[in-house]
Structure 1
Amino acid sequence: MVKSVVFILSIFSLSALSFAQLNGGAGDGGAVRDAFPETNRAVYDHLEEVERALNEARRKSAKAHPKFGALFDQAQKAIMKDDLIETERLLTKLHEIEDLNAYENSRIYLLEYWYNGKLGNKELEYEAASKLMAVGAGNIDSHAYVEAGMRLLKHQYNNQDLGGAIETLNNLRKDSESQVELMSIVSAVKKLDEFSEQQTDIVQKITINDTGMWSAKIFKPQFYLSAVNGEVSTLGFNCTNKQATLNYKPDSVMEIPEAWGSCTMKVNAKPNTTFNFVQTQKKAA
């Protein structure tokens, strides 16, 4: 099979980032970060910004379910006390509320992100962070949103989850407070933007670690595995509208049905298995 010019995704390291802070309950929309302005005009602008943020938080909070605020506050207090059993109980109660809006879901995802981080369950921690990035901008404190997003971006990039990293980068850009953090990794941001716009095949050389699996967000129409050295057993797909696990068939080009929506693929294989993961534009009929 003839392929276009390919690019291999390199690895970079970011400095360690702490867990996002749970600032504010359901009624205040999260604490507004303090900044001491240098001029009277800056003071005026700053106060206007604070007032707008608080008014928006009150507006969203007013639309929340009556039970939500009290349960959220209790769960937040429990997790800050490291009472994880009580936190789990309250999270279950929060999920029992029907027809949650984006404001409420974002706060649940933030709790789940924090909760799984304290448990040491990295997979569920990053899953919660990914959900938070999708709906959290403008619904939780900017500092908490950006901190969670930067940790997720670091994980995705270093794990060669190119599609996931591009998605997280785009979500982070919804919050202006992310600009300073993103400037600290400007070379990585530039690479992700280039990959996002690239029209030729993208190839990543993957090595399966001791967990026996590797996952990544699919962001090109077609994809396949090549140069497999080892044993790949199954491919799992966690999509917006579908979940499926398929036996791996060598030399097969795959395409996600549009009805499935956005998908993350999980490759299950023996540790130390290596392969090229190729994402390509759909060929014209």
Structure 2
Amino acid sequence: MTRALAFIILTLAISNNLAADILTDAKAVERMAPRYPLKELQSNREGWAVISYVIDKDGSVIDPKIDDSTGVSSFEKAALKVVKKWKYEPATLNGEPVQQCRTRAKITFAIRGNTATATPKFVRNFKKIVAFIDANELTEAETHLNDLRELSSWNLYEDAWYWYLKSHLDRKKGDYQSTYSSLKRAVAYEGNYLPDNEYLSSLETLFLLDVHYQHYAEALRTYEQIKALSDEIDPKTQKTAETIQAQLDSHLTLKMDIQLDTNGQWHFELPRRRFSIGSGIESLDSFEARCDAKRQIVSIEKKQVWSVPSSWGRCTLYLEGEAGKSVELLLVPNPSSTDSASL
């Protein structure tokens, strides 16, 4: 019997429907665990991958995307391979089968019997890197951090500490985008492998970066996690969360400055149902809106306001275009009378 264990944490989108519509979530019929990559099993290496996918009207899984992972490609490939085999009872809208287009699963690769402790070698190297960061010897710190990543044995506990440490180095270097990515991996999408104090401090910094990068829906969700863990919320954090909610509820147009990644992609959860694209639109090829009950791929031909019907539920927007280009996204409260378009 193999001592490997791969397990799944599934987060289904919560519907946000009009009173006249009844949307029922898809239900899992067959959701087997992935095959553990042999190389990683032999190396005693653990990890995880977060996948978004569409459940089609016949209950099959189509178009899976890797949203994030521990950065090990073999885990990503194994996760993508198995999720395509999953079967569901399809979602229904008013009794009729519909696509469920905003489903996410976190697939964790863990080895049975491993404990939540770090090896002595990991600890020694970790302390050495902390000393380099404290001494502002950032080049040495980065070199040793890269060496730490190459350790053959690697469990989920060490992985969380690695990304936590990397976030500190990224922040010291002034690279806040990398800090943001590292912190998301440190908290492991609610994996909670860090001790309580470090986990909470990571969430608090993550909240500030959610706000900085104008990921408003994510910021409010991070704030709810902080509230669940702490009896004493920092007044500034509470005030910021209240301000975000007030702005989203207002009649103001909110501007977001985004940058496509090295693959020419970017995605986030829409905090409003209407949006437009301003400067940088020429850098985009298309976008895809994946919502609870529908999805739409749109070729971008001109500036207009797009409106997402409430019956579609919550939506994640995926943009594709020229790598590294900046784009202005406008969250508008009401559609224009002349140039609005329903998805």
TM-score (norm 2): 0.43
Q: Tell me if 1:186 matches 2:238.
A: yes
Aligned to 2:116: 60
Aligned to 1:206: 255
**5 Å matches for 1:265-284?**
268-269=325-326, 273=328, 275-276=330-331
Do the aligned residues in 2 keep the contact of 1:222 with 1:254 (CA within 8 Å)?
Answer: no
Letter in 2 for 1:121: D
CA distance in structure 2 between the partners assigned to 1:229 and 1:103 by the alignment: 43
CA distance in structure 1 between the partners assigned to 2:319 and 2:209 by the alignment: 16
Aligned to 1:79: 133
Letter in 1 for 2:136: D
Decide which of 282, 291, 297 is 1:233's aligned counterpart.
282
Letter in 1 for 2:238: V
Shift of 1:155: 3.0
Aligned to 1:103: 157
Do the aligned residues in 1 keep the contact of 2:217 with 2:269 (CA within 8 Å)?
Answer: yes
Shift of 1:95: 1.5
**5 Å matches for 1:123-134?**
123-134=177-188
Inter-CA distance 191–67: structure 2 relative to 1 (3 Å threshold): same
Shift of 1:165: 1.0
Shift of 1:112: 0.8
**5 Å matches for 1:143-158?**
143-158=197-212
CA distance in structure 2 between the partners assigned to 1:221 and 1:189 by the alignment: 13
**5 Å matches for 1:254-269?**
268-269=325-326
Decide which of 176, 198, 215 is 1:161's aligned counterpart.
215
Unmatched segments (≥5 aa) in structure 1: 5-58, 238-245, 256-261, 279-285
Letter in 2 for 1:186: Q
CA distance in structure 1 between the partners assigned to 2:236 and 2:204 by the alignment: 11
Do the aligned residues in 2 keep the contact of 1:137 with 1:174 (CA within 8 Å)?
Answer: no
Helix, strand or coil at the partner of 2:143:
helix
Aligned to 1:218: 268
Do the aligned residues in 2 keep the contact of 1:116 with 1:125 (CA within 8 Å)?
Answer: yes
Helix, strand or coil at the partner of 2:136:
coil
Helix, strand or coil at the partner of 1:168:
helix
Superposed CA offset, 1:124-169 (max 9, x none)? 1222122223368754344443333223312322442113213422
Helix, strand or coil at the partner of 2:229:
coil
Q: How many residues align?
A: 196
Bigger fraction of residues in strand? 2
Moved more, 114-123 or 134-143: 134-143
Do the aligned residues in 2 keep the contact of 1:136 with 1:145 (CA within 8 Å)?
Answer: no
Inter-CA distance 193–275: structure 2 relative to 1 (3 Å threshold): closer
CA distance in structure 2 between the partners assigned to 1:79 and 1:93 by the alignment: 15
Shift of 1:173: 4.5
Do the aligned residues in 2 keep the contact of 1:117 with 1:125 (CA within 8 Å)?
Answer: yes
Aligned to 2:124: 70
Inter-CA distance 93–231: structure 2 relative to 1 (3 Å threshold): closer
Q: Tell me if 1:90 matches 2:118.
A: no
CA distance in structure 2 between the partners assigned to 1:247 and 1:98 by the alignment: 45
Inter-CA distance 114–207: structure 2 relative to 1 (3 Å threshold): closer
Superposed CA offset, 1:14-50 (max 9, x none)? xxxxxxxxxxxxxxxxxxxxxxxxxxxxxxxxxxxxx
CA distance in structure 2 between the partners assigned to 1:221 and 1:163 by the alignment: 5
Percent of residue pairs identical = 16
